[in-house]
Amino acid sequence: MEFRLLGPVQIWSGSDQVSLKRRQERLLLAVLLLEPGKAVAAQRLMELLWPDAMPTNPRRALQVYISRLRTVLEVELTSGREGYAIQAPLGSTDIEQYRTLVAQARQQDDLEQRSKLLTDALGLWRGPALADVTTEDVRQRLCGGLEEEHWAAEELLLTTELSLGHHQELLPRLADLTAAQPTRETFAAASMLALYRSGRQTDALSVYTALVRRLDEELGLEPGAEMRDLQVAILRQDPSLDLTVPSAAPRELPADVGLLIGRDDVLEELSAALLGPARTGVPAVVCLYGAAGTGKSAAAVRLGHQLADSYPDGQLFARLQDVNGQSLPPRTVLGQLLRSLGVEGSELPESLEERSALLRSRLADKSVLLVFDDAIDAGQLRPLLPAGGAVIITSRRPMLGLEDATHRELRPLSDETSAELLGAVSGLGSARVAEVVPHCAGLPLALRIVGARLALIREDVAEVVQTLADESQRLDYLVAGDRAVRASLDLTLSTATTEARRLFAHLALVGADEFAPWVAAPLLNTDEPTAAAVLENLAALGLIQLRRLTPPRYGVHGLVRAFAVELLQSVEERTAVELRYVETVLRLVATADGSIDHAMATSVVVDVGEERLLRGTVAAAVAGSPWLDVEAPVVHAAVLLAARVAPRTAGLLALRFKGFLAVRDLREMWISVLQVARDATAHSGDVDLEADLDRSLWVVHAQSGAPPDALVQLAEQSLDSAVRSGNVELRNRALEQVAWGAQLRTDFDRTLEMVDEMLALAGAIPEAASSTARALSTRGVTLQWLGRNAEAQADLREVLALDKPGNRLHAIRLVHLAKCLLDSPGLGAEHLDELYDVVGQAREIVERLGDNLGLAYVENCAGTAMVAAGGLDDAERVLGVAADLFSRHRDESGEIANAVGWARLAVARGELDRARRELGRALQIASTDLSRFEVERQRKLLGLPSRTS
């Protein structure tokens, strides 16, 4: 499916145009496609759809438009807490196609080919972007930057055509452009130059006169200095206006590496950045940064060679560190650069400022590329930067003080690319060295060392794998001649501060691939600002990588982690650091958990205390799920660490973490966290904690579709530990799980016996209302399955009256009532008002929480209710949305419920064979007695004959 936004908004599927009749739907689609994959907040969408006056219920209207788009589009349209997003394939919009062509053109040295690419790109514009979907004011808000890209591409095409000598052929296009943008000086300048080169000096000067008049009348401005200089040059018939051939210049780039793999994309991007539209007085600057061994210098040299022809006045190269890793003073580097530009030693000024000024003077009006390798910081670089041309920088960290620079991190290579590089260096091919790759952390330095040993020493691949697999031997092996990974790391660490060296060893405890700056505070037992400064010292040295800027996330690759682990073994205070760290994580997770309305109560209540070191992070953790979305891997690793050093803390961490994992349906992590914590706690003798973890394990295995026998065993285990704990509340909750286990076996008598026991215990529990609601909910669902629908409805309505509204459990119980109403004699038709209300409440909760599995159930109930109301087309659309959600969050009960919804829709349309097929499909999904019972019950409700009749 292709989306065209550069003009009237259109959707094409193959050779067919897909119709979207409503203007608001086309606008909604366009807004989401302007940034594919990025969530757009519902409030912003509503403001754009209705800029003047909103309808009575704009959110509902927006949801209707979203639903309609889902029925039309062949791509995924997702919703969540942050808003709505379209997951369109790369290159499916004409904007992306346009930008790709322009980027290719900017890096193209062949002027003819560059002209063709730009012509193709500009040909995609069919008129103003989003021309037919909104007001001009809203269109400008959305597309102002895009249209500026359009004019910038036109400028590049004009420059290219003029360089090719096509000045006469350009004149008609220039007339159109200057008419469309009469005050754009670059178009006027191109028109003047084309006319002058065509022998029409008077006409060229007339263009300038018209521009002066237009700028004065409309803007009260005068033309810029470049335009004034061009007018004077035309009056003088200056030879510089003719096409010229570049003169000889310094060529200082080191020899290119013979083999550079896996860096094509970043080089292409940086090439486009350097070759983009120039800004007066500002050089184009790119910075390649990353850890030691990632191949920054090799990539920078390759990029320099690729662009050399675009900078005919020369290429200068300077290393900014000496052989001992010490920073070279800018004054020294300036002396080197000026000598390369022909300044004699005796003519070099003494002061830094004078040398910097002389460099700018020598490079003024010249097209020169400068490559600076191993920069320390922005302060070292600023005196070295000219007022134009292009600059390539390598560094171990982003040059944050260079705001105009384009920064790109060179990360470790992927396994596939690493195998390709190692296979080429060793001469063995990627397949034979595949097992070696995971132990090299994707570092080109390590890969080249291993490759050299395999090629020259002819070591056996299996023996190399065995050596590298041992973390204690890995760094010992990675030595080849003057190259050694440990030596490189050790030398780097020796230049760090004392606190940074201590933190580096402690970071081995974090255990996650990425982590936020706050982890450093408990590891050092200091406040956040102090810890962040120490962390920044490690980042500056490339020992850790700043993986993301907002929010900041750091990472440590495998070989550096092995070095940290070595150092950690000799840390005397290790146990105290471990305990302080996991207790800090517990306090933060407890803060976040308190903001998530999951209603998954924890019976073990412990005051974890106030977090004093991390007040800023505590404020962030109050956001709840969004904070844990980022920090989940760190918390998971902390549970594993706590299980070894502090079992009770591990259990408490797991219990405060589980609600988030349930809402986000992160089943694998959910099971891992609870099982590790439960195993550690079982050996510590903390029965209350063990019982709470047993109960929680049953919940995650139930949501994950564990076999009935396993769930029954887990329920009995939960009941056993609850009885041993003597905690009545835990016993009541365990009885609920035993009841559900009986349901799975369709032993409804046993289920109701458990309910009676739960109700008897409820009076002895302080929170009697919630315990009663739990029992009535179980009984209500059971009575529904037994066909006692009126009694079931009564129980489920009472549950909602006892319940605390607004949380995830309340949404689940709203869905239970909705499903019960849909199983009434009229299949929900007699309860439509209540159904819409119940489903609407549940939808608000799950969308707010970002609970996509819950949303799947809500959409299923909504679609089935639409069948009862006779809205069959809408029902088909909504059931399709539910099916898509269930496909991404596998859930047997939900998938069967959706198959039943499709069957009801088929019956309503008189398609009885299809209805039987849908129920047959549901029966194939069913893996438990209860699921099979449910399919048969629904068949009877629909009045369909059994498969054997």
Give burial (CB, 10 Å; 0-12/13-18/19+) of 185: middle
The predicted pLDDT at position 573 comes to: 82
Higher pLDDT pick, 665 / 452: 665
Model pLDDT for residues 492-521, shown as the tens digit of each residue: 677 678 898 889 889 989 988 899 999 999
Residue in the structure block whose two tokens are 């005196």:
383
Given pLDDT bands bounded at 50, 70 and 90, which one contains residue 356? very high
The predicted pLDDT at position 131 comes to: 86
pTM (2 decimals)? Answer: 0.55
Token readout for 205 is 């000067």
**Dihedral angle over CA of 803, 804, 808, 810, nearest 10:** 30
The predicted pLDDT at position 784 comes to: 93
Token readout for 444 is 């080109």
Are 627 and 633 within 8 A, CB to CB? no
Dihedral angle sign, alpha carbons of residues 198, 203, 209, 215? negative
Given pLDDT bands bounded at 50, 70 and 90, which one contains residue 756? very high
Given pLDDT bands bounded at 50, 70 and 90, which one contains residue 787? very high
Dihedral angle sign, alpha carbons of residues 231, 237, 241, 247? negative
Token readout for 584 is 């800090």
Model pLDDT for residues 118-144, shown as the tens digit of each residue: 999 999 999 899 888 888 888 888 888
H helical segments located in 407-513: 415-426, 444-452, 461-469, 471-477, 485-494, 498-506
CB-CB neighbours of 825 under 10 Å: 10
Q: Please tell me what DSSP assigns to residue 453.
A: I
Given pLDDT bands bounded at 50, 70 and 90, which one contains residue 325? low
Half-sphere exposure of 217 (CA within 13 A, CB side): 8
Same fold, 497-571 and 804-942: no
Model pLDDT for residues 889-947, shown as the tens digit of each residue: 888 899 999 999 999 999 999 999 999 999 999 999 999 899 999 999 999 999 998 75
The predicted pLDDT at position 245 comes to: 41
The predicted pLDDT at position 606 comes to: 58
Model pLDDT for residues 61-94, shown as the tens digit of each residue: 888 888 888 888 888 888 888 889 898 888 889 9
SS3 365: coil
Residue in the structure block whose two tokens are 């936020």:
516
Are 595 and 658 within 8 A, CB to CB? no
Given pLDDT bands bounded at 50, 70 and 90, which one contains residue 949? very low
Token readout for 191 is 């028109």
Give percent above pLDDT 70 in the chain: 95
Strand 10-13 to 479-480 pairing: unpaired
CA angle 328, 329, 335 (to 5 degrees): 100
Model pLDDT for residues 454-473, shown as the tens digit of each residue: 887 777 888 888 888 776 67
Is 393's pLDDT higher than 90? yes
The CATH classification of domain 804-942, taken from the options 3.40.50.10210, 1.20.120.450, 1.25.40.10, 3.40.640.10: 1.25.40.10
Is 248's pLDDT higher than 60? no
Q: Which of 564, 484, 560 is nearest to 523 (CA)?
A: 564
176/187 Cα distance (integer angstroms):
10
Give percent above pLDDT 90 in the chain: 38
Rg (CA), the chain: 34
Token readout for 653 is 């961490």
Given pLDDT bands bounded at 50, 70 and 90, which one contains residue 682? confident
Of 332-346, 386-400, 507-521, the one with minimum mean pLDDT is 332-346
Rounded to whole angstroms, what are the CA distances from 694 to 224, 690, 812? 75, 6, 22
Q: Which CATH superfamily is domain 264-409 in?
A: P-loop containing nucleotide triphosphate hydrolases (3.40.50.300)
For residues 714-739, give the mean pLDDT: 88
Longest CA span, the chain: 107
Q: Which of 206, 197, 192 is nearest to 166 (CA)?
A: 197
Backbone angles phi, psi at 113, to 5 degrees: -65, -40
Given pLDDT bands bounded at 50, 70 and 90, which one contains residue 280? confident
The predicted pLDDT at position 788 comes to: 94
DSSP letters, 173-239, are HHHHHHHHSTT-HHHHHHHHHHHHHTT-HHHHHHHHHHHHHHHHHHHS----HHHHHHHHHHHHT-G
**What architecture is the 1-165 domain classified under in CATH?**
Orthogonal Bundle (1.10)
For residues 7-21, give the mean pLDDT: 87
Domain ranges of the chain: 1-165, 179-242, 264-409, 415-481, 497-571, 573-685, 804-942
The answer to whether the bond into 522 is cis (omega within 30° of 0) is: no
The predicted pLDDT at position 827 comes to: 94
Query: What is the average pLDDT value for the chain, to the nearest integer?
Result: 87
Of 120-124, 343-347, 416-420, 527-531, the one with minimum mean pLDDT is 343-347
Model pLDDT for residues 187-213, shown as the tens digit of each residue: 999 999 989 888 888 888 898 889 889
For residues 440-465, give the mean pLDDT: 81
The predicted pLDDT at position 243 comes to: 63
Are 111 and 310 within 8 A, CB to CB? no
Is 370's pLDDT higher than 90? yes
Q: Which CATH class is domain 497-571?
A: mainly alpha
545/290 Cα distance (integer angstroms):
7
